Structure 1
Amino acid sequence: MKLIALDMDGTLLSSKHVIPEENLKAIYDAQDAGHIVMICSGRAKEHITTFLAESGLDCPVASSNGAVVSINNEIISEISMSREVVRNIATQLEQEHAPYKLYTNKGIFTTHNWSEKVKKEFDEAEFKHEKCTPEELIRFTEDIPNAITMTYVNDVEELLQDEEIVVHKFFVLTFDTNKQAHLRETMAHPELMVTSSLWNNVEIMDKNGHKGNGIKAVAKHFNIPIEDTIAMGDNYNDVGMLDVAGFSVVMENGEPDLKAKYDAVTLTNDENGVAHAIYKYVLEK
């Protein structure tokens, strides 16, 4: 039995943000052969499970970059940040004028002026990424059907008044490549995991809230040795699981330094790279 851990955006999903039929078939074939396939994504748990249900998939899930791990909708591992740390991060991000969301055990929260902050971030971006288009601005400021509903608060203190709330992750949005690098540098702290999952974000978790611990939790649950795990990803938030997996595969569309570092490179996410890797490295062996 193998454990196959798949990132979503840039890996399992095509550039159109859907799971190609070839990838779906490969996952079903792997499951039918007795292997465990898990999803390991920076997305919120609710978003992943809804997406999987619509695709007809039943898989263990490591959400918020591995901070929350659930199997059959039961949470088996949860890593959050202390209230003091959350306050400190929020204060620093406010000083940087950076739009951010908080991923919690009760959904996604942000401030009432989210859209205003995002539009300002877009207008003031000096070094806009090549993918930064007006459509991207619309995607982050307008209501999209079937998108996860955000809850709006005045500030972080209002959110933390709920004693049952725990924060798993900060999602920080930026359209400026230099600002992304600046935020990753200035937010770095020994007790935090600071990374990026796409060109337009910075993600901040507890130092243990990463995909490496997500894959470890699921492997332990199913009594699968870590050397019998395979991880597939494309970006820096995948490094945790790529580092600990027994065999690590990077997408052709992945970051160049990651492709040079790990065990294998598969086809792009628009060429069904996940299916190609599952058949080549799992089912044909």
Structure 2
Amino acid sequence: MGYKLIACDMDETLLNDQHEISQRNIEVIQKAKEEYGVKFVPATGRSFMSIQRYLKNLHLYDEVGEYILSFNGGALTENKGNRLMQFKGLNFDKMKEIFEYGLTKDVCIRLYTMDKLYVYNISESEAEKIEAKKEAVTIMEENTVDFLKDEPIAKILFQNVDVPYLMSLEPDMEPITDGEVTISYSSNRYMEFNSLGVDKGQGLIDLAKILNIDIKDTIAIGDNYNDVAMLKVAGLSVAAGNALDDVKKICDYTTKADNNEGVVAEIIERFIFNKTQV
């Protein structure tokens, strides 16, 4: 088997705790591209616009034939001109229902349009996270989303560092979400809501088909619940050393390295450069 595409989560997988890409990862990813023809595709819950600086680090910025899977699979873009290839957004009325439910709970709310991130009821921990990640956000003062009626909505999420609390909301939300929304969890602080059927796994399947790459020739790397769908469909599933135990259990391989030590470099060196199989 010759792996042709690596789909990799960003936060807590490719990025270290300072929200940067290590030089080791950069060098190995570039070698895999130049010498082995392997595509490296960031697969993130973030927007594609918000990770442009990382593309520059990886020498993938504005490149033809290089891609991003963003919004947990809600969008596929080609890096050249940020060309939108596929977008599966969330219905405005459904987003509004979720937003209004969140107003009654102990959560900070993050709302993503195609190119902007809005935050309501910002928590201290979230403010610190936003500053550390250098995210561009618009703080919402009013508890309404009606001003976004005509904007394409990518997703909405709730934030609380108490993940069991977030998970406890899921059964209560069934009248709103059942049959219409995909729910996932990430970064040990987010409960994410995408349109039904949208996840990183379907995004990887769609991109592989577009590129005429057999899904067996793909590697997926992740650490959290919103990565599970792509880990399940990829030819080789990899958990970062710092991944949740639930994620490690479903993967073919768990790296010795954590996100501060070069998770991606370890995988490329073992399974691309040395042609080692599981």
Q: TM-score, normalised by structure 2?
A: 0.86
Instruction: Tell me the secondary structure at the aligned position of residue 196 of structure 1.
Output: strand
Correspondence for 1:281? 271
Q: Distance in 1 between matches of 2:133 and 2:44?
A: 21
Correspondence for 2:5? 3
Q: How much has 1:19 moved relative to structure 2?
A: 0.5
Correspondence for 1:127? none
5+ residue gaps, structure 2: none
Q: How much has 1:140 moved relative to structure 2?
A: 4.8
Correspondence for 1:23? 25
Correspondence for 2:72? 65
Instruction: Tell me the secondary structure at the aligned position of residue 4 of structure 1.
Output: strand
Q: Distance in 2 between matches of 1:54 and 1:171?
A: 28
Correspondence for 1:130? none
Instruction: Tell me the secondary structure at the aligned position of residue 75 of structure 1.
Output: strand
Per-residue CA deviations over 1:117-158 (Å, capped at 9, x if unaligned) read x25xxxxxxxxxxxxxxxx355157x6694313263624443
Which of 206, 213, 227 is the equivalent residue of 2:216?
A: 227
* Higher mean C-alpha displacement, 241-250 vs 44-53: 44-53
Correspondence for 2:116? 107
Q: How much has 1:51 moved relative to structure 2?
A: 2.7
- 1:153, 1:159 within 8 Å by CA — same for their partners in 2? no
Q: Distance in 2 between matches of 1:154 and 1:63?
A: 28
Q: Distance in 1 between matches of 2:251 and 2:184?
A: 18
Q: Write out aligned runs for 1:125-136 (5 A).
A: 136=125
Per-residue CA deviations over 1:193-218 (Å, capped at 9, x if unaligned) read 11111111111111222101221222
Which of 28, 45, 50 is the equivalent residue of 2:48?
A: 45
Per-residue CA deviations over 1:228-250 (Å, capped at 9, x if unaligned) read 11100010000111011111111
- 1:77, 1:217 within 8 Å by CA — same for their partners in 2? no
**1:260 and 2:249 equivalent?**
yes
Give the total of aligned pairs.
Answer: 262
Q: Distance in 1 between matches of 2:180 and 2:108?
A: 22
- 1:250, 1:264 within 8 Å by CA — same for their partners in 2? yes
Amino acid at match of 1:176: D
Which of 140, 150, 166 is the equivalent residue of 1:152?
A: 140
Correspondence for 2:197? 208
Correspondence for 1:128? none
- 2:30, 2:58 within 8 Å by CA — same for their partners in 1? no
Q: CA RMSD in A?
A: 2.1
- 1:110, 1:153 within 8 Å by CA — same for their partners in 2? no
Correspondence for 1:168? 154
Runs of 4+ in 1 over 4 A off after TM superposition: 143-146
Amino acid at match of 1:224: I
